[in-house]
């Protein structure tokens, strides 16, 4: 079964998430500090990283950046866990590069498992496409992987922004900024989906 690294400074949440994942047969590693997570990744291979955003000393965005800078867990999906809804500042920053998903707390057992399984299903799809098209298009796998990652991320960022909008006064400047970003995200998603469909037709042709 897949191995998942859970990183969160709240021990209670680690216990809950670990129990949920293990109930479905997942192997779980855990860390309550960013540096501990990096040390684990120096010696352990995992299939997914669930990474809390708000942590002391080293927040989740910094940990994600360090994972990339140190060349750890190459190609491993990272899903951010956070109580904060997405803002335009988050959306337009470089921080979301390489992130696979953005999961808002609190979440139910069913919601977490659905997202985890979907992320891992995409990883298998990417692996299969690389095997099918390696000889004809060596760069295809990386491009297709990025499309899948970006599609998933943007879809869930839209959900997060929609949550933010539901809590704001429609006449406020913040509402307008998030609404504009929400619309722009929707346009980007349409283009991503169109390009992804083209790639998937190529996959089918080469099976």
User: Could you report the per-residue pLDDT of 183-203, keeping only the tens digit for each?
Assistant: 999 999 999 999 888 878 877
Can you give the pTM of this predicted structure?
Answer: 0.81
- State phi, psi for 159 to the nearest 5 degrees: -60, -40
- Residue 108 clears pLDDT 90, i.e. is over it: yes
What value does the mean pLDDT take over residues 83-95?
A: 74
DSSP for 9-77, written as a single string: S-HHHHHHHHHHHHHTT-EEEEESSHHHHHHHHHH---SEEEEES--SSS-HHHHHHHHHHTT-STT--
Residue 100: Cβ within 10 Å count: 23
User: Tokens representing 125?
Assistant: 């799809």
Q: Is 15 or 138 the better-scoring residue by pLDDT?
A: 15
CA angle 56, 60, 61 (to 5 degrees): 120
pLDDT, position 32: 95
Confidence class for position 7, pLDDT limits 50, 70, 90: very high
User: Tokens representing 70?
Assistant: 């140190």
pLDDT per position as a tens digit, 40-71? 999 999 999 999 999 988 999 999 999 999 99
Q: Distance between CA atoms of 173 and 104, rounded to whole angstroms?
A: 23
pLDDT, position 4: 97
3-state secondary structure of 4: strand
What value does the mean pLDDT take over residues 105-133?
A: 84
């Amino acid at each position: 079964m897949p191995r998942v690294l859970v990183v969160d400074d709240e021990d209670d949440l680690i216990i809950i998430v670990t129990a949920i994942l293990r109930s479905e047969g997942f192997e779980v590693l855990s860390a309550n500090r960013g540096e501990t997570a990096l040390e684990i990744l120096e010696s352990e291979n995992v299939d997914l990283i669930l990474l809390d955003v708000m942590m002391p000393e080293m927040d989740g965005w910094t940990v994600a950046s360090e994972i990339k800078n140190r060349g750890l867990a190459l190609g491993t999906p990272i899903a951010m866990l956070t109580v904060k809804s997405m803002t335009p500042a988050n959306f337009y920053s470089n921080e979301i590069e390489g992130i696979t998903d953005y999961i808002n707390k609190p979440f139910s057992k069913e919601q977490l498992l659905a997202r985890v399984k979907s992320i891992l299903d995409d990883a298998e799809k990417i692996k299969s496409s690389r095997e099918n098209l390696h000889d004809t298009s060596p760069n295809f796998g990386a491009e297709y992987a990025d499309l899948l990652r970006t599609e998933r991320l943007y879809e869930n960022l839209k959900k997060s922004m929609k949550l933010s909008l539901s809590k704001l006064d429609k006449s406020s400047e913040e509402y307008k900024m998030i609404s504009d970003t929400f619309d722009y995200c929707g346009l980007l998603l349409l283009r991503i989906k169109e390009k992804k469909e083209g790639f998937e037709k190529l996959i089918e042709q080469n099976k």
